[in-house]
């Protein structure tokens, strides 16, 4: 494991005792005193975990499954904290949760995806937590709505909460995939671009839904310069009351962390920046060439649109479009481009071409009126 990242943000929150990298871990659910204390002891022994997590109230889609231990679980969590010295974090979804967490000395809170999706619930939590200095970690909403995610962050900020972080846990898939939730990394990247000073962690457990994918997703998150990880850990995952498939033992978590490469966001060396700038200059030149070629292509599209209009030909020529996709994708593959990239790029261009020809057709209709 190469630990090159710095957790300056979290050090400013918690002091120098914060581990590098910043990792939150613990079981999906608090199940018993022995389970919590055993997990905390094993995680403490790794000397790699900064915050101990446990689900106390479990929002379930349907009744009848395990919905959490409730207040007694907070008592178990407090004993695990007292024994190991861990800071603790709990999911909250109702103002009364905050009062109970404060009673048992919980250090910070996270907001679940379903709660983030409801601005009314978020506002109630903001009002209840106002005046405290406890950090709040906000998971993305169930669906990939970045405005809803940012809105929840803004509500806590407007309530005077200064220590806010986001957690990327993926988005509900409408089709079955190998992952429990679709990563849609572009949404997390857009969040970092729009809120550059906001710490963004990744929750590989809820993206994966299966422990076999944890390392792959964790490495991807770190390569995208995310600020930490939240990974579920249980001493005996196969016997867990909830999310058994996505939890990992503390011993295997230790191995997983050691296998990760923690890269730096920058390098101060002059030769690195010199070579990087050279490559970036090439990218700039190629980008302008691409735009120039797109402009020329659209000029030809316009001529085709005028020709179709004058001859009363439909805009969409399905066979031609299918030939374009087939031939360009085949050519792109020979050049080392992915089929997905070529198809998406052509799709955007085709959509714009259809719109341009539609405008041409509508312009003729307007002239004839």
CA pair distance 41, 94, nearest whole angstrom: 30
In the predicted structure, residue 338 carries a pLDDT above the cut 80: yes
Please report, rounded to a whole number, the percentage of residues in the chain having pLDDT higher than 90.
Answer: 83
User: What are the φ/ψ torsions at residue 3 (nearest 5 degrees)?
Assistant: -100, 90
Instruction: Please tell me the number of Cα atoms within 13 Å of 142 on its side-chain side.
Output: 9
Over residues 164-217, the pLDDT tens digits come to 999 999 999 888 889 999 999 999 999 999 999 999 999 999 999 999 999 999
Domain limits, CATH 1.20.59.10, in the chain: 270-368
Q: With contact defined as beta carbons under 8 Å apart, do 51 and 80 qualify?
A: no
The length of the chain is 369
Which long-range CB contacts under 8 A does 118-125 form with residues at least 24 apart? 119/148, 119/151, 119/152, 119/155, 121/93, 121/94, 122/151, 122/152, 122/155, 122/156, 123/155, 124/94, 124/95, 125/92, 125/93, 125/94, 125/95, 125/98, 125/156
pLDDT for 3 equals 45
Percent helix, strand and coil across the chain, each to the nearest 5: 55, 10, 35
Where does the pLDDT of residue 4 fall: very low under 50, low under 70, confident under 90, or very high at 90 and above?
A: very low
In the predicted structure, residue 45 carries a pLDDT above the cut 80: yes
DSSP SS3 for 83 = helix
Q: What is the average pLDDT across 347-358?
A: 96
DSSP SS3 for 72 = helix
Average pLDDT, the chain: 93
Which long-range CB contacts under 8 A does 13-21 form with residues at least 24 apart? 13/135, 13/163, 14/50, 14/87, 17/50, 18/50, 19/47, 19/48, 19/49, 19/50, 20/262, 21/222, 21/228, 21/229, 21/257, 21/262
Q: What is the average pLDDT across 259-272?
A: 85
For tokens 């995806």, the residue is: 113
For 236, the token pair is: 């005996």
In the predicted structure, residue 50 carries a pLDDT above the cut 60: yes
Would you tell me which CATH number, out of the four given (1.20.59.10, 3.40.50.300, 3.40.50.970, 3.40.190.100), belongs to the domain 270-368? 1.20.59.10
Instruction: Note the CATH number of domain 2-262.
Output: 3.20.20.70
DSSP SS3 for 29 = strand
In the predicted structure, residue 6 carries a pLDDT above the cut 90: no
- Which of 270, 219, 277, 209 shows the shortest CA–CA distance to 243? 209
Domain limits, CATH 3.20.20.70, in the chain: 2-262
Where does the pLDDT of residue 368 fall: very low under 50, low under 70, confident under 90, or very high at 90 and above?
A: low
């Amino acid at each position: 494991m190469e630990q090159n990242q710095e957790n300056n943000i979290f050090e400013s929150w918690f002091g120098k005792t914060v581990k590098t990298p910043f990792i939150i871990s613990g079981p999906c659910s608090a199940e018993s005193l022995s389970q919590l204390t055993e997990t905390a002891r094993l995680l403490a022994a790794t000397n790699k975990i900064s915050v101990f997590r446990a689900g106390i109230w479990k929002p379930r889609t349907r009744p009848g499954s395990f919905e959490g231990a409730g207040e007694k679980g907070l008592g178990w969590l407090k004993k695990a904290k007292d024994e190991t010295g861990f800071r603790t974090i709990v999911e909250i979804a109702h103002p009364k949760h905050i009062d109970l967490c404060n009673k048992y000395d919980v250090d910070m809170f996270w907001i679940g995806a379903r709660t983030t999706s409801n601005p009314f619930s978020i506002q109630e939590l903001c009002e209840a937590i106002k005046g405290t200095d406890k950090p709040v970690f906000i998971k993305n909403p169930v669906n990939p709505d970045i405005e809803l995610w940012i809105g929840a962050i803004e509500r806590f900020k407007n309530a005077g909460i200064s220590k806010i972080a986001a957690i990327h846990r993926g988005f509900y898939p409408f089709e079955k995939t190998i992952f429990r939730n679709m990563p849609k990394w572009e949404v997390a990247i857009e969040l970092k671009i729009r809120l550059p000073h906001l710490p963004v962690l990744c929750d590989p457990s809820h993206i994966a839904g299966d422990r076999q994918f944890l390392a792959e997703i964790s490495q991807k998150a770190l390569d995208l310069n995310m600020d930490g990880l939240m990974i579920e850990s249980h001493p005996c995952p196969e016997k867990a009351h909830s999310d058994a498939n996505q939890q990992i033992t503390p011993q295997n978590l230790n191995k997983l962390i050691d296998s990760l490469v923690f890269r730096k966001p920058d390098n101060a060396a002059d030769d690195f920046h010199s070579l990087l700038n050279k490559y970036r200059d090439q990218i700039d030149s190629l980008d302008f060439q691409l735009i120039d070629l797109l402009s020329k292509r659209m000029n030809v599209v316009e001529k085709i649109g005028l020709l179709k209009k004058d001859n009363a030909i439909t805009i969409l020529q399905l066979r031609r479009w299918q030939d374009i996709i087939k031939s360009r994708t085949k050519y792109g593959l020979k050049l080392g481009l992915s089929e997905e990239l070529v198809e998406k790029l052509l799709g955007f261009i085709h959509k714009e071409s259809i719109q341009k020809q539609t405008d041409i057709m509508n312009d003729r209709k307007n002239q004839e009126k």
